[in-house]
Each structure stands twice: as C-alpha cells, then as structure tokens.
Amino acid sequence: MFCLFRGAAVLAALVALSAFPTIEAAWADESTPVAAGVSYEPIGHWDAAKLNEILTTEAPKVFGVSVTYSPAVNGVQLYRVTYPSVVPERGNKPIVATGLLAIPDTGGKDFPLVSYQHGTVYGKEDVPSYPENSSETELMLAQFAGQGYALIGADYFGMGASKEPEGYGVKGSHQQATFDMLLAARAVMGSMGLSTSKLFLGGWSQGGYVTMAFLEKLEKSGVAVSAASTASGPADLYSFLSGFLDFPRENDASWISILYVLSSFSFEHYYGMPGLARSFVNEDYYETARKIYERESSDISALPTDLKKLIRPEYFDPTFFAESAYGRIAAASDAFRWIIKTPVRSYYGESDEVVSVGLAKLAMNYQEGIGGGNTAVEAISTGKTDHRGTFATAVAQWKIWFDSLK
C-alpha cells in the first residue's frame, strides 16, 4: 500500500537471491528450536566491507540520492526466525510466520534493538528474512546492525514463508505479526545468552503505517519503546486510499493501482467478506487482479495504471466510498488516534509521489490538536525528496536520533 513497488525489480530480486546459493544450501537444515514453536536458522554473515558497499554504492543507485551514513564498523550474523502467531480478524486462527534477526558480531551480550517494518513489495520473498532480496532491509542492516544494533523485521502475514494469503493493510494482523516477532526474537536472543537494552521502531511507507500500528499495540501492552520513526508513513489508511480517488495529484505514482488490488483482496479474505474485491474491481480486470494477489502466473503490466479503468465508478463518489465495506474497513484502521506517549518522528518528502505532505503530518497535527497539545509526534521534512529518496535520507537521521537516546 504505501511503498516501493518494484515491477521490474521482481526479476532483479530473483537474480540477487541466486547470488547467495551456497549459504542457503549449507545452512538449510540447521534450524534450532527455542520454545513454544519458535525456531531460527542462520542464513548468512555479512562483513563490514559488504555493509559499507551497500551504504556507499548500492543504496545511492537504488534510492536515487547520495546520503552520508555512519560507516559499518562490524559484521552481522543473519537468522531467519520462524514463530507461531494468530490472525485476530479470523478468530485468532493459528498461523506460522517468519522474520529476520540480525546480531552484530561485536562479541557483546546486550544490544539496543531496532524493529524495522518493511514497505510494500510484490514478491513473497522480497522481505526482511530474505535480506538479499530487499534493498530497504539491506540499508537498515548496513546502517544499524553494522553499528552495533540488533535488528529485527517481520515478514507480515502471507509474506516470507507464510502460507496464508497476504494480509495487506490488515491492521490487527500487522500488529500481531510484529508483536509476536518481537517476542520470538527476544526468545531466540535469550537462548543465545543475549539481551536487548532499548527498543526502537522504524518503518518506511507501508512500514510507516505498520510501525504506528505496532507502536499502538506496544504502548497498550505496556512494552517500553525508546523512540519510533517513520519515513513516508501514512498513519491513516482511509485518507491514503481515498486521496488517489478523490484528490489525485499530478505526481501520483503510476503503480498505485497495485495497492487497491492487494488491499481489496486482503480485506475480503481477512475480514471474511466474500465478493468484496469483485464489488470493487471492474469486471474486465478482476481475474488479472485476483491472479496478482494470489501470486499466480500473471502479467503485472496488464493492470491499468488509470484507476478509473481498474476501480468501479461508484467508488469515486466520496459518500459511496465511505459507506462501502471497503471504505468502512479502511476508516477503522487508523494508526494515530490514541494518546501517543513514545517520542515519534515522522519524516516526509516534499516531492513524494506516494504519500502527501498533509498525510505524512497528520499524526503530529492530530496529537497537537488534543487539548493543550501532545508534542510526542514531530513531522520533519527531508526536502524535495521523492518516495525512495525520503526513506534513504531519513534512515541516516533515524540513526543519529536513536544514538542520542541509547
């Protein structure tokens, strides 16, 4: 919904994956059980030289901006964590999920921990637990794990090794996936004799939304969070999805249509509303959309970039949209309407083609409008950056801020 959709990058991700066959083959059978269904397996070791190559060469190519990052000073051991969870929207149906755990090879026993929530991707394995497929995860590993932070990242339900359909924009499931990944990672680290001193959150685009939803669950569960940061993060799902239909901008990204495909089918499946997606997607493109959501063999380029071709015309009436099952789910999925206690910084780009400046500043404006004003949330511009550039620029600023709070 909210991030970097890499149509051509699916092929690039497969190429990247094939570059690391030796590690996967050697360690595929080394899964170590911990407790209560949690297990982990090593998936690689990246040394400081590789991490610095990401910071200085790969990231600028992928994200289109040149940023000065803190150089990596240590390597990092990578693990794929498998853990049990439940789907809140489906009566707490049991599910098995996966995520990434990265441990700096500093020899330390206690680490500050960053939980990174990934953005929108199409490939099931373009997620944190397959880090070589995920440029955003690579950047986070290089900037944080290469500087002594432990780092985790949930794959979200339906992604990674999960067998469920994708739960795109499904708030409760996003919260459950990230919360249970945190518990699983701490269990794995405990089995290694390691601990975490402070918890930080970060997320880009869709991951910015998930970060705020995750923070809400953590605060309500009494779990201390030192700070949370987002980049191009829409805290209100309804405003985000309504915006492209009701107030389109000249610079709106051409791939936005995929967000409506993934969200409409996800809502139908997770909220148990048969026919929701068919009522939303024009009949001419329904089968194409279904195949894309279910990851069947399909041509993504067959999906129209013109939303009026993809979506039924009645949804462009704001009143109809608000009263529809799709709109009601989106409206109930905000991630900013509670009294936020944790310091939050929401970074936004003034030329972002996905998340508008107003939407990126919404959480801050809402909190400041509560009585005399809650100042916990601060919105910060990264300048005239686009969607990718906002993330790449913000990561360096996240690091400086988190360092000051360690």
What's the confidence (pLDDT) of residue 29? 53
In this prediction the pTM is: 0.93
Residue 3 pLDDT > 70, yes or no?
A: no
Q: What is the pLDDT of residue 297?
A: 76
Q: What is the mean pLDDT of residues 28-38?
A: 83
The CATH number of domain 9-236+341-405 is 1.25.40.10: no
Joined together, the tokens standing for residue 229 give 């940061």
Residue 107 buriedness (CB in 10 A; 0-12 / 13-18 / 19+): exposed
Rounded Cα–Cα distance for residues 88 and 263 (Å): 17
Average pLDDT estimate for 80-86: 98
> Does 282 have pLDDT greater than 80?
yes
Q: Report the candidate in 108, 90, 16 with the shortest Cα–Cα distance to residue 58.
A: 16
Residue type, 187: A
pLDDT of residue 8: 34
pLDDT at residue 107, rounded to an integer: 96
The candidate with the shortest Cα–Cα distance to 2, out of 164, 158, 236, is 236
H helix and E strand count, the chain: 17, 10
Output the pLDDT for position 21.
Answer: 31
- Mean pLDDT for the stretch of residues 2-22: 34
Could you read off the pLDDT of 296-311 as tens digits, one per residue?
A: 877 788 999 999 999 9
Residue 49 phi/psi, 5° resolution?
-65, -45
Evaluate if residue 136 carries a pLDDT over 50.
yes
DSSP string computed for 306-337:
SHHHHB-GGGGSHHHHHHSHHHHHHHTT-S--
DSSP string, 170-194: -HHHHHHHHHHHHHHHHHHHHHTT-
Q: Are the C-beta atoms of 313 and 324 separated by less than 8 Å? A: no
**Domain boundaries defined on the chain:** 9-236+341-405, 248-331
Collapse the DSSP code of 381 into the 3-class scheme (helix H, G, I; strand E, B; otherwise coil) and give the result. strand
pLDDT of residue 184: 98
